[in-house]
């Protein structure tokens, strides 16, 4: 109550004094004993009043100090808000406090994380937590809204829409300069260019519009362009065609509205001019981004990985055209910056490991049927069916096969003759051939064949005797002289993923 005592008379003191005066005057006309009693009564009343007023004063003092605390708190909130609305470069101290906390990258993500969050200002970090630029303070619309105030663009705001604030949101007058584009206003955003680019990449779509109230102030007139805007790269663009109603130089003030989507956003500068002594005011909307960019179920690049939320620089596997590939992703660079993705090489994928080595342990004569095998040395993946002698490719890919056989001459015949073909789906793709005449008895000759084939899943490969004449056969016993080997070199992933 300091200020009450010092700066103004006590509001109750006047009342008390006049009250006492009246009592004293009336006492003069009363008997002495009466007077005595009245004074005592008066004193008691005075004490009561004093106590009453004192307790009131204590009450008031408490209230004032509470109010003072509230004002202080609100002052600090105002200060924080003011700072929050400065460009991001001046915004370091507030980011120092929050920058480590902004883990989500868009309002869409915040909304998805908890749909009950209210619309308002939030910190987000589109280019990834802990890398790139510090988080940005943005407005999130968390409930669906229909914004049809302007008939031209009936805009629907989806829940989880991110709006980037800037320093030119209010209606601004273009003044009276007459040269084309002479009024030039840069738009400063409360988010870095990198963060905005990241937000656009993460979003399904972004839009920003501009409203222009014109009275006798054209955008284009008589072949001269008086107004335009610059995109994120500073490139100049004309306003859309339907804004031409301003170009009819109507003396009546009216508003036009232009919306721009994605790629070229945000507006970095607007230019107007007022060549005919009219008037013009612009309102630049916020850049608004909604939804989530689609990412293939399988990432095919560092950019996909980044969209999915990866921010740690590391080597990752991604889906290439036919094979898995290893790439080094440097997420502290921008997606279109040199070195963001470095290709390392192919990743060996074996979704069905396939290796076989089979042998015969008995002599074989039959022509034009698949050669069966009896002994299984290795048959990883069971793609080789020994009984039928047919290999079935389990996956698309590149396969290697080799055959070594032993051709013998029948006793008393002076010739070894044998031909074994390699067949792919009933088409012969190779042949092992031996023909030796004028030989001595018990003569044996080797047959060999190698092949590398690109196969589709379910393609079938086998060996068969294509010709023996009447002199030869494939000799074998428990030692195993006839070998068939095969394995998958490389698996193709396109059809299986
Ligand atoms: C991070 O967020 C939590 C919960 O909102 C808060 O309690 C904490 O103080 C924040 N930390 C920083 C560094 O801002
Ligand atoms: C477009 O302009 C209208 C009218 O000024 C505004 O209500 C709306 O929010 C703007 N949209 C965007 C994306 O800025
Ligand atoms: C050949 O191998 C099969 C399977 O291992 C075996 O059952 C059979 O006895 C073998 N025959 C000869 C002649 O060794």
What residue spans define the domains of the chain?
50-79, 91-290, 302-343, 355-491
The preferred substitution site among 165, 169, 285 for testing ligand 2, maximizing ligand atoms within 8 Å of CB, is: 285
Ligand nearest the Cα of residue 386 is 3
pLDDT per residue as tens digits for the range 305-344 = 988 888 889 999 999 888 899 999 998 888 888 999 999 9
C-beta of 131 in contact with ligand 2 (< 6 A): no
C-beta of 266 in contact with ligand 2 (< 6 A): no
pLDDT over 70 (residue 69): no
Distance 376 CA to ligand 3 centre (A): 10
Residue of 294, 302, 338 lying closest to 320 (CA atoms)? 302
Q: Lowest-pLDDT range, 20-34, 162-176, 268-282? A: 20-34
Residue 17: pLDDT band (50, 70, 90) is low
Q: Do domains 91-290 and 355-491 have the same CATH topology?
A: yes
Ligand nearest the Cα of residue 98 is 1
Q: Whose CA is nearest to atom 6 of ligand 1?
A: 101
Most confident of 106-110, 308-312, 420-424: 420-424
Q: Whose CA is nearest to atom 10 of ligand 3?
A: 361
The DSSP output letter for 111 is H
| CATH T-level assignment (fold) for domain 355-491 | Jelly Rolls (2.60.120)
Distance 386 CA to ligand 3 centre (A): 12
C-beta of 101 in contact with ligand 1 (< 6 A): yes
Encoded tokens for 329: 């992703």
Contact 229, 267 (CB under 8 A): yes
Long-range (24+ apart) CB contacts under 8 A made by 42-46 are 46/16, 46/20
pLDDT over 50 (residue 93): no
Contact 202, 292 (CB under 8 A): yes
pLDDT over 50 (residue 8): no
Choose the CATH number for 91-290 among 2.60.40.3670, 3.40.50.300, 1.10.1200.10, 2.60.120.1000: 2.60.120.1000
Ligand nearest the Cα of residue 155 is 2
Contact 141, 163 (CB under 8 A): yes
Encoded tokens for 122: 């939030």
């Amino acid at each position: 109550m300091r200020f009450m005592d010092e700066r103004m008379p006590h509001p109750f003191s006047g009342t008390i004094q006049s009250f006492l005066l009246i009592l004293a005057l009336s006492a003069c006309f009363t008997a002495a004993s009466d007077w005595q009693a009245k004074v005592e009564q008066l004193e008691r009343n005075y004490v009561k009043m004093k106590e009453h007023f004192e307790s009131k004063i204590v009450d008031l003092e408490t209230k004032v100090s509470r109010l003072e605390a509230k004002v202080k708190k609100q002052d600090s909130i105002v200060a924080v808000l003011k700072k929050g609305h400065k460009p991001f470069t001046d915004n370091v101290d507030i980011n120092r406090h929050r920058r480590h906390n902004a883990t989500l990258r868009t309002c869409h993500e915040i909304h998805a994380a908890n749909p009950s969050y209210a619309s308002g200002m939030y910190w987000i970090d589109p280019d990834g937590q802990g890398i790139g630029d510090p988080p940005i303070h943005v407005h999130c619309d968390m409930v669906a809204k229909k914004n049809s105030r302007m008939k031209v663009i009936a805009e629907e705001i989806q829940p989880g829409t991110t709006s980037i604030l800037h320093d030119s949101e209010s209606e601004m007058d273009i003044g009276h300069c007459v040269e084309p584009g002479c009024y030039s206003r840069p738009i400063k955003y409360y988010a870095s260019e990198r963060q905005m680019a990241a937000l656009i990449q993460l979003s399904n779509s972004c839009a920003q519009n501009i409203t222009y109230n014109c009275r006798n102030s054209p955008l284009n007139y008589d072949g001269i362009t008086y107004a335009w805007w610059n995109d994120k790269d500073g490139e100049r663009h004309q306003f859309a065609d339907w804004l031409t109603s301003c170009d009819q130089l109507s003396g009546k003030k009216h508003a036009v509205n232009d919306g721009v989507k994605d790629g070229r956003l945000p507006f970095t500068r607007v230019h107007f001019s007022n060549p005919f002594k009219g008037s013009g005011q612009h309102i630049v909307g916020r850049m608004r981004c909604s939804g989530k960019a689609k990412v293939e179920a399988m990432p095919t690049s560092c950019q996909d990985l980044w969209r999915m939320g990866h921010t740690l620089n590391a080597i990752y596997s991604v889906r290439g055209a036919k094979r898995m590939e290893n790439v080094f992703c440097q997420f502290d660079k921008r997606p279109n910056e040199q070195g963001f993705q470095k290709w390392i090489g192919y990743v060996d994928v074996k979704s069905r490991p396939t290796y076989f080595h089979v042998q015969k342990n008995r002599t074989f004569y039959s022509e034009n049927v698949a050669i069966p095998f009896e002994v299984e040395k290795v048959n990883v993946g069971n793609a080789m069916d020994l009984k039928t002698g047919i290999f079935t490719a389990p996956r698309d890919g590149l396969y290697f096969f080799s055959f070594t056989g032993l051709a013998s001459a029948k006793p008393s015949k002076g010739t070894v003759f044998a031909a074994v073909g390699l067949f792919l789906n009933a088409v012969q793709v190779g042949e092992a051939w031996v023909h030796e005449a004028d030989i001595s008895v018990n003569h044996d000759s080797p047959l060999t064949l190698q092949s590398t084939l690109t196969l589709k899943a379910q393609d079938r490969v086998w060996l068969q005797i294509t010709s023996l004449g009447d002199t030869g056969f494939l000799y074998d016993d428990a030692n195993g002289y006839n070998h068939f080997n095969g394995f998958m070199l490389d698996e193709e992933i396109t059809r299986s993923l």
